[in-house]
Amino acid sequence: MAKFCIASPHKDEMWYDYRLYINLRNTLEKMGHTYQAGSKNRIYFLGGPQRLHYPTVGKFDNDANNIALIYCHAQKLQRINLFDHVFVPSQQVKDYFVKKKWKERFTSRTQRKFTTRREIEIIRPFSSLSPTDQKQQKFVCDIAFMGTPRVRPIVEAVLSIVEKHKLDLKIIGPSWGAYPGNPAAKKYCIAKSLPYEDIPLLANSAKIHLNDHHHSMNQFAAVSHKYVDMISAGGFVICDNNQDAKKYYQGETFTDEASLEDLILHYLGDDEARKQKQLEQYQIVKQQTTIQAAHCLARYFLV
C-alpha cells in the first residue's frame, strides 16, 4: 500500500468542502493506504487558483506524484500542466480544458499551461451517504435549504413563495441572523450546522431540498458535491439553472421566481411524481461514491 497526502483549501468543518477531504482521506485509509505529511502521492483539491503552500503538504514539488482533482471554479485555474494526472467533475469541464489545450498547440512547450501529460479523466462529485427510512421531527417541512448566508438568489426567490403560500421552510447554516439579503430568512433558520451523517435524516424529512451553485459552476456545467450528497441521501432536489444538473443528472432546475414557484407547487401537490424523480436521480448518482473515487485515484499511487 502507498503513502499519500491531500492538499485541500478547506480543512475547516465550517466549509462544506471540508467533507471531501475527510471522506476521501478516511476511505483511502480504510483501503490500507497511509496518510503522511509531505508524502510523494499528493492529491490536490482544486476549487480555484492553486495555492503555493498547503498544510501537511508543503510547497509544490515537481518530483512528487501530483494528482489534481478539480471540483469547481475550473475557469480560475491558471495552469494544469504541472500535474501527473488531472481529474475534472464533468464532461463539459473536460471539453473546456481540451479547447484550451488545442488553442495553445502552436505555442512553445514552456507556454503550454493546459497541455497535460496524460488525458484528462472525469471523477464526478462523489458521496459517502445513502438513504434512510427514518425521519427526524425537527427536520420535517415542505422545503429545506442548507448553506451559508451569502446573498443567494434561490433563497431570495423562495422566501416570497413560502410566505405567499404559507409553506414550512427550514434553513440550516451559520450566521443567518446576519444574512445581508431578505431579513425574513433568519426566522426560518433552525440550526447552525448539521453533522454530515445526519444529512439522510434531513433528506427524508423535508419534501423538497433547494440547492444552488456559484455562477461559474452553472456556466461551466458542473454540480456541487452537496447536490450529489443530497440525492445520494434520498432527497428530492431543485437547483438553479445548472446545465449538468439538467442534462446529466436529469434534475429539476429553475430560472426565475415564477418557474421555482411552479416546480414547488407541482411537487408538493404530487407525492408520487416527487418520489419518482428522486428515484430517477438516485439511480444516476448511486455509483458516484467516495469508495469509487478513491479507487480511481489510488490506481495512480506510487508505492
**pLDDT tens digits, 199-256:** 999 999 999 999 999 888 888 889 999 999 999 999 999 999 999 999 999 999 999 9
Start-to-end CA span in the chain (Å): 6
In whole angstroms, how far apart are CA 43 and each of 19, 37, 130?
A: 15, 12, 25
Is the four-CA dihedral 15, 19, 20, 22 of positive or negative sign? positive
Ranking 103-112, 134-143, 210-219 by mean pLDDT, the lowest is 103-112
Instruction: Give the per-residue pLDDT at 11.
Output: 60
Instruction: Please state whether 75 falls in left (phi above 0), alpha (psi between -120 and 50) or beta.
Output: alpha
Mean pLDDT of the 249-273 span: 98
pTM equals: 0.94
CA angle 125, 230, 187 (to 5 degrees): 130
Q: Average of pLDDT values for 133-162?
A: 95
All cell numbers assigned to 43 = 492529491
**Would you state the pLDDT for residue 243?**
94
Sheet holding 65-70, edge to edge: 34-35, 3-7, 41-46, 65-70, 85-88, 121-122
Higher pLDDT, 220 or 68: 68
What is the pLDDT, as a whole number, of residue 217? 86
Which of the residue ranges 82-96, 101-115, 201-215, 265-279 would you say has the lowest mean pLDDT? 101-115
pLDDT at residue 33, as a whole number: 98
Q: Where residue 280 falls among pLDDT bands split at 50, 70, 90? A: very high
The CATH superfamily holding the domain 137-285 is Glycogen Phosphorylase B; (3.40.50.2000)
Answer whether 6's CB lies under 8 Å from 45's CB: yes
Lowest mean pLDDT among 3-12, 62-71, 86-95, 272-281: 3-12
Average pLDDT over residues 152-179: 96
Asked if pLDDT for residue 197 goes beyond 80, the answer is yes
Residue 189 pLDDT class (50, 70, 90 cuts)? very high
Q: What's the mean pLDDT when you consider all of the chain?
A: 94
Q: What number is the average pLDDT over the span 71-97? A: 94
Note whether 185 and 155 are within 8 A (CB): yes
Q: How far apart are CA 173 and CA 60, in angstroms?
A: 34
CA distance 289 to 302: 23
Pair 200, 144: CB distance under 8 Å:
no
Report CA Rg, the chain. Answer: 20
Q: Taking the CA of residue 1 as centre, how many other CA atoms within 13 Å lie in the half-sphere pointing to its CB?
A: 12
Q: Minimal CA–CA distance to 185: which of 206, 208, 202, 210?
A: 210
Q: How far apart are CA 230 and CA 279, in angstroms?
A: 12
Taking the C-alpha atoms of residue 229 and residue 239, their distance in angstroms, rounded to an integer, is 13
pLDDT tens profile 48-59: 788 888 888 999
